[in-house]
């Protein structure tokens, strides 16, 4: 059994939490004590039906306001797959939490209310999902019961979205009409929409093919920790980390960056013994043939397939802090297992998420803004374009005084 | 056809995925935090977490001590297990004693003798006097709804408090472990595991856990429709008849608050089957402490509880 991580996104009141509640409920992943508690709360509030959204809204403030503030992670399994759901907030002021949930997702479900169609938040979320290159996206057109299960409404929203999506970067888009409240097309196919011939949401989630989403071509092994027992096995020296690209095997000729020194993989260790190959996202420990100076933040890769070693970074940045990003400011950048300082050279443009228009006049990025930024780092980073590898192409920006994570960036091509 | 067969070859099973993720997180703590420590109570989640820590640094030693906040109301089997495991690994154990804190007048026992809430100041005090800047805990997001909201690297201010409305964004596996003087991190390496994952892993790895996790015959009595064991810390009232039953513990916390469940599961494999079929969450079934209010856990966590 494998794992599918998916994120749900959409505007306030589009029914995300209800949809997840429904998925959990209909796949029998809700426990009786959880359900009793939700029923009690629903009754106390005088709801007409049991509000399944209460299953995921975990904070007191969320239940009081009926909104989702932060990502809630939920777990369920069917005989086919284990699922990790990141239920992300719709409110614009919590966009950073939506980004958190989407960054690790294999698939994103963007909900829209059939009565309202695409709104600014739907476009923003689709744009972020595209920017983060979540490999699969589902546009779930919810509340179909409130538009009389109309195929016309569905078609017009679908067309509008696909048109918007042509200007984004999606590889796999699926559009599903559903009613989270009533359960239509969530777990089972709905008899209310005979015109829809596709799969139910759960069926799609169980079957979407994700094995080819990981990069198995470019060998990338960021060194995370040097293992050197002080007593006993004094000769043992090896490099622990998680494979983020390619397949490594004992005997492979490799180079260690940034030094560029060549060597060979002697063995790939795990606590359970040596393995014959390592691939993403395995955590392993690598022994090399030669005694090289290797430390955290270095990267092991193949001689003829190396990341770019550079101090000049061009990236799309999603800004997540109240303080603005401006040219001339300095931050810490964490990229793979390497942390360096960076100077912001230039904000090249801000992206209008509705029109996807690039505003060249922008010289700063405010909270929740997305724009292209050029920066120079004090030490070289070992980077790939994010489209090639999510691990070696993404970084976070940290304010060195407050230590807050203030932004996230994805490295663009060139 | 070939494509289909390629998939499992370079895909990880759910347990391998979760193990790899947890090992990455534990190594990241050791690499980025100056004085980390790992909570170890002798409960199944912390046993699994410590097992992962051993794996993360093999063949080297675990590069941090373990910490236990001892309420003084623990099950004897669990304390015995804790000490034995720590001795086997040759790892340093730091115990923060709630009893000692009460005796010295640093804290006062709550109404009804519950020591759940007063663990928090003892935990914060223990971390402070030992200079721990990061504490790893075995909490899982599937346990409880405020835990479902927590980051893997969860920031605590200088009072040890959690602000659920202002958590740091946490993207990809780029964890921001940076703190200023006086602040600290709580880190949850098995955030994404469920109770079932934990038991499947215990079965697969043949990890030893305290005997009370498996079905055994015990003297029990009913209180708030839960089965409590007669224990040196917990005696039945006169209207609570004692009877014997075959039970096991799904969680092992404070012996005065943790209930047993009727069970025939006396091996890890049978526990896996039982957990897979269970219709009640482990905390709902066994924990008196979470029944106070809908936000009981959230309120305790804000104060610095794990």
Pair (A140, A79) in one structural domain: yes
- Inter-chain touch A394–B172, beta carbons under 8 Å: yes
Q: What is the pLDDT of residue B73?
A: 86
- Note whether A3 and A15 are within 8 A (CB): no
Q: What is the pLDDT of residue B1?
A: 31
Pair (A209, A63) in one structural domain: yes
Pair (A275, A328) in one structural domain: no
- Inter-chain touch A104–B58, beta carbons under 8 Å: no
- Note whether B177 and B33 are within 8 A (CB): yes
Pair (A280, A344) in one structural domain: no
Pair (A117, A153) in one structural domain: yes
Pair (A372, A288) in one structural domain: no
Pair (A243, A261) in one structural domain: yes
Pair (A256, A405) in one structural domain: no
Q: How many CB atoms lie within 10 A of CB A182?
A: 15
Tell me which residues of chain B, numbers 134 to 163, contact chain A at a CB-CB cutoff of 8 Å: 141-142, 144-149, 151
Q: How far apart are CA B236 and CA B221, in angstroms?
A: 7
Is it the case that residue B108 has pLDDT exceeding 90? no
Rounded to the nearest 10 degrees, the angle between the axes of helix A151-165 and helix A120-131 is 50
Is it the case that residue B3 has pLDDT exceeding 50? no
How many residues in chain A? Answer: 414
ipTM attached to this prediction: 0.93
Range from A20-34, A292-306, B66-80, B287-301 that averages highest in pLDDT: A292-306
Phi, psi of B268 (to 5 degrees): -55, -40
Rounded average pLDDT over A5-22: 84
- A120-167 per-position pLDDT tens digit: 888 888 999 999 999 999 999 999 999 999 999 999 999 999 999 998
Q: What is the pLDDT of residue A353?
A: 79
Q: Which domain holds residue A145?
A: 2-213
Q: Which of A183, A213, A243 corresponds to the end of one domain?
A: A213
Q: Nearest chain B Cα to A337, which residue?
A: B174
N- to C-terminal Cα separation, chain B: 48
How far away is chain B from the Cα of A136, in angstroms, using its nearest Cα? 16
Of B17, B142, B299, the CB nearest to A75: B142
- B186-199 per-position pLDDT tens digit: 999 999 999 999 99
Question: Domain B2-196+296-303 belongs to what architecture?
Answer: 3-Layer(aba) Sandwich (3.40)
Pair (A284, A369) in one structural domain: no
Q: What is the pLDDT of residue B8?
A: 54
Is it the case that residue A234 has pLDDT exceeding 90? no
Q: Which of A213, A230, A262 corresponds to the end of one domain?
A: A213
State the span(s) of chain B assigned CATH 3.40.50.620: 2-196+296-303
Average pLDDT, chain A: 90
Q: Could you tell me the two tokens for A328?
A: 């001339």
Rounded average pLDDT over B145-173: 90
Q: What is the pLDDT of residue B281?
A: 77
Nearest to B161 by CA among B182, B141, B137, B143: B182
Residues of A in contact with B281 (CB under 8 A): 31, 33-34
Average pLDDT, chain B: 88
Q: What is the pLDDT of residue A354?
A: 77
Percent of chain A surpassing pLDDT 90? 66
Q: Output B164 or A193, whichever has higher pLDDT.
A: A193
User: pLDDT band at residue A30, thresholds of 50, 70 and 90?
Assistant: low
Q: Measured over all CA atoms, what is the biggest interatomic distance in chain A, rounded to whole angstroms?
A: 74
User: How far, in whole angstroms, is CA B52 from its chain's centroid?
Assistant: 14
DSSP secondary structure string, A35-58?
A: HHHHHHHHHHHT-SS--GGGGT--
Residues of B in contact with A77 (CB under 8 A): 196
Rounded average pLDDT over A81-110: 88
Tell me which residues of chain B, numbers 182 to 241, contact chain A at a CB-CB cutoff of 8 Å: 183, 191-192, 194, 196-197
Is it the case that residue B292 has pLDDT exceeding 60? no
Residues of A in contact with B299 (CB under 8 A): 60
Pair (A186, A233) in one structural domain: no
CA angle centred on A359, ends A357 and A363, rounded to 5°: 155
Number of domains in chain A: 3
Q: What is the pLDDT of residue A414?
A: 58
Query: Which CATH number fits the domain that encloses residue A298?
Result: 2.40.30.10
């Amino acid at each position: 059994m494998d794992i599918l991580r998916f994120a749900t996104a959409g505007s306030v009141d589009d029914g995300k939490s209800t949809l997840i509640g429904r998925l959990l409920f209909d796949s029998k992943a809700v426990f009786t004590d959880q359900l009793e508690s939700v029923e009690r709360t629903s009754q106390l509030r005088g709801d007409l039906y049991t509000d399944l959204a209460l299953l995921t809204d975990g904070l007191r403030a969320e239940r009081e306001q009926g909104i989702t503030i932060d990502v809630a992670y939920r777990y369920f399994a069917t005989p086919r797959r284990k699922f990790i759901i990141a239920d992300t907030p719709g409110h614009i002021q919590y966009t950073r939490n939506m980004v958190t949930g989407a960054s690790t997702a294999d698939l994103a479900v963007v909900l829209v209310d059939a009565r309202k169609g695409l709104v600014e938040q739907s476009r923003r979320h689709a744009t972020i999902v595209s920017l983060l290159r979540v490999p699969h996206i589902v546009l779930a057109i919810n509340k179909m019961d409130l538009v009389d299960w109309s195929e016309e409404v569905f078609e017009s929203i679908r067309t509008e979205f696909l048109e918007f999506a042509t200007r984004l970067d999606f590889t796999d888009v699926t559009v599903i009409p559903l009613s989270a409240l009533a359960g239509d097309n969530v777990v089972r196919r709905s008899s209310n929409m005979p015109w829809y011939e596709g799969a139910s949401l759960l069926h799609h989630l169980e079957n979407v093919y994700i094995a080819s989403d990981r990069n198995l071509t470019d060998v990338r092994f960021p060194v995370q920790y040097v293992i050197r027992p002080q007593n006993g096995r004094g000769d043992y020296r090896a490099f622990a980390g998680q494979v983020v690209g390619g397949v490594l095997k004992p005997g492979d000729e490799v180079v260690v960056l940034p030094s560029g020194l060549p060597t060979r993989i002697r063995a790939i260790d795990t606590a359970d013994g040596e393995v014959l190959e390592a691939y993403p996202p395995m955590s392993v420990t690598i022994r090399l043939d030669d005694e090289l100076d290797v430390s955290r933040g270095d990267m092991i890769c193949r001689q003829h397939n190396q990341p770019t070693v550079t101090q000049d970074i061009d990236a799309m940045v999603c800004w997540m802090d109240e303080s603005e990003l401006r040219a001339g400011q300095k931050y810490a950048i964490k990229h793979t297992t390497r942390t360096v300082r960076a100077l912001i050279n230039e904000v090249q443009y801000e992206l209008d998420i509705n029109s996807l228009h690039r505003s060249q006049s922008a010289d700063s990025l405010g909270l929740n803004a997305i724009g292209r930024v050029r920066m120079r780092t004090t030490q070289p980073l070992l980077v790939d374009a994010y489209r090639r590898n999510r691990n070696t192409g993404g970084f976070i920006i940290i304010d060195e005084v407050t230590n807050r994570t203030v932004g996230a960036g994805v490295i663009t091509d060139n | 056809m070939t494509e289909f067969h390629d998939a499992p070859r370079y895909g990880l099973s759910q347990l391998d995925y979760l193990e790899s993720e947890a090992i990455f997180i534990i190594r990241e703590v050791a690499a980025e935090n100056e004085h980390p420590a790992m909570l170890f109570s002798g409960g199944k989640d912390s046993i699994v977490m410590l097992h992962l820590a051993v794996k993360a640094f093999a063949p080297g030693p675990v590069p941090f001590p373990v910490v236990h906040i001892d309420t003084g109301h623990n099950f004897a089997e669990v304390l015995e297990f804790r000490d034995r495991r720590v001795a086997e690994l040759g790892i340093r154990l730091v115990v923060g004693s709630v009893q000692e804190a009460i005796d010295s007048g640093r804290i006062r026992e709550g109404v009804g003798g519950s020591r759940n809430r007063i663990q928090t100041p003892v935990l914060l005090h223990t971390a402070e006097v030992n200079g721990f800047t990061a504490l790893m805990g075995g909490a899982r997001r599937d346990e409880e709804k405020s835990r479902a909201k927590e980051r893997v690297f969860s920031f605590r201010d200088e009072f040890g408090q959690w602000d659920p409305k202002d958590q740091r964004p946490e993207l990809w596996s780029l964890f921001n472990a940076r703190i200023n003087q006086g602040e600290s991190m709580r880190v949850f390496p098995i955030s994404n595991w469920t109770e079932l994952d934990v038991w499947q892993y215990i079965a697969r790895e043949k990890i030893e856990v305290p005997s009370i996790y498996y079905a055994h015959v015990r003297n029990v009595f009913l209180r708030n429709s839960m089965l409590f064991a007669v224990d040196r810390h917990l005696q039945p009232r006169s209207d609570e008849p004692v009877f014997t039953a075959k039970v096991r513990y799904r969680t092992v916390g404070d012996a005065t608050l943790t209930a047993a469940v009727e069970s025939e599961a006396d091996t890890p494999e049978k526990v896996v089957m039982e957990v897979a079929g269970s219709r009640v969450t482990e905390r709902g079934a066994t924990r008196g402490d979470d029944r106070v209010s809908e936000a009981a856990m959230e309120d305790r966590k804000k104060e610095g509880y794990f």
